[in-house]
Structure formats: C-alpha cells, structure tokens
C-alpha cells in the first residue's frame, strides 16, 4: 500500500533543538542565528521570558521548553544555546541544550486531525531514519507562546513590523 498515513507532506531541511530528551525540529530556513546563553540578558526576565537576546540591535524575548514542551520559568544549567528564529527578521529566541542541522532533508507530514489541539506548537511529524521528529515553525511557536502566556503576546512583531 502506498499509504499516506498522516496528512499533507512537505520536504525541507530541518534543524533540531534538544530539550532534555525531546527533539523539536524547525525549518532550517527559519534559524537566523545562534547565541550562547552566556550572552543573554536575564535582567528583565519574567514569567515565561527567560532572557533577552540582542539580534541586529534589537532585544528579542527568549523562551525555553521542557521535555513535555511546557514553557520553562528558569534556564536549566545544561541549556547552552539560544536559537534566534525568523528567516530574515528574527522574532524570538529559543533556549535549548543544543541544536543540530540534519544532513538530509526530511518529509514533514501534517499532524493528523485527531492529534491536533488548539494550543499545540506541533504542526507535523517526520521520520529521520527511524527517529520520529516533532515539527514546528516560527509562526506556530509565536501563536503557542502568545496563547499560553498572554503576557507575552505583545512581545512579538506584527507581520507588518516584521517585514
């Protein structure tokens, strides 16, 4: 059977962020830059904003997640990298243990209807050899953070500002 077990498919290069055993993939094209957590400014950290990261002269909020993709309230000691996401204009930083680029493109399949929930940041699944990758993207992350933490909603650029 040439089955399409999940839904729509798209093939692209992905970067994988590690969160205490959970691996979350984002399109490589959306990874703007990487910064060490040592270079972050945590003087204005609040509930879910773990720190501020300066990119191109702008201060962006940085967030982190645990192995259940719950928003962190503090940066674990082994979270060492901040990935700044946004193809041309970065919008936020994601603090994680490490990030790596997959050598080959993977085929992301849309999350089936029965698995979707309104507040999920996950948009798809992909197989990387025998590993199941959880896939998200910048737009889904912004929506998830804005939904789960109302105080963060105003921190992101509007589409007009981003362009």
Partner 1 sequence: MPLRTQQTIAPTEQTSSAWLLDISGGLTVAVAAQDVIYVYPDAPQVFPVPQTPDHVPGVVNWQQHLVPIIDLGIYLGLQQAESHSAAIKMMVLLTLGDSRLGAMALEQIPERAEVADSSQCELPANLQAWGSLAASCFMHNTRGAVPILDLNAVFGSKLSPGGLVERVGYRDRDNAA
Which residues in this chain contact partner 1 in the complex, by CB under 8 A?
A: 1-7, 22, 67-69, 109, 111-117, 119-122, 125, 127, 130, 132, 134
Helix ranges, the chain (H): 138-148, 159-162
Six-digit token pair at 138? 């910048």
Output 58 or 70, the one with its CB closest to partner 1.
70
Shortest approach of partner 1 to residue 109 CB, angstroms?
Answer: 7
Q: What are phi and psi of 28, to 5 degrees?
A: -60, -35
Q: Which of 117, 19, 111 is nearest to 65 (CA)?
A: 19
- Minimum distance from CB of 55 to partner 1 (Å)? 27
For residue 131, the minimal CB distance to partner 1 (Å) is 9
Q: Which is nearer to partner 1, 3 or 163 (CB)?
A: 3
Nearer to partner 1, 3 or 43 (CB): 3
CB of 116 to partner 1, least distance (A): 7
Cβ distance to partner 1 smaller for residue 85 or 125 = 125
DSSP state of 1: -
User: Dihedral sign, CA of 148, 152, 154, 158?
Assistant: negative
Nearest to partner 1 of 16, 60 (CB atom): 16
Residue 22, Ramachandran bin (φ over 0: left; ψ between -120 and 50: alpha; else beta): beta
Whole-angstrom distance, CA of residue 148 vs CA of residue 140: 12
- Smallest separation (angstroms) from partner 1 to the CB of 141: 12
């Amino acid at each position: 059977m040439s089955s399409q077990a999940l839904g729509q498919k798209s093939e692209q290069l992905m970067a994988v962020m590690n969160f205490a055993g959970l691996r979350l993939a984002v399109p490589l094209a959306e990874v703007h830059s990487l910064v060490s957590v040592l270079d972050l400014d945590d003087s204005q950290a609040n509930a879910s904003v773990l720190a501020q990261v300066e990119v191109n002269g702008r201060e962006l909020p940085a967030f982190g997640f645990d192995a259940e993709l719950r928003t962190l309230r503090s940066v674990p000691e082994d979270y060492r990298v901040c990935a700044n996401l946004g193809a041309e204009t970065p919008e936020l930083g994601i603090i994680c243990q490490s990030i790596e680029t997959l050598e080959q493109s993977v085929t992301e399949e849309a999350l089936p209807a029965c698995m979707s929930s309104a507040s999920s940041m996950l948009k798809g699944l992909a197989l990387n050899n025998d590993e199941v990758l959880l896939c998200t993207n910048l737009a889904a992350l912004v929506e998830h953070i804005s939904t789960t933490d109302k105080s963060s909603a105003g921190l992101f650029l509007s589409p007009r500002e981003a362009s």
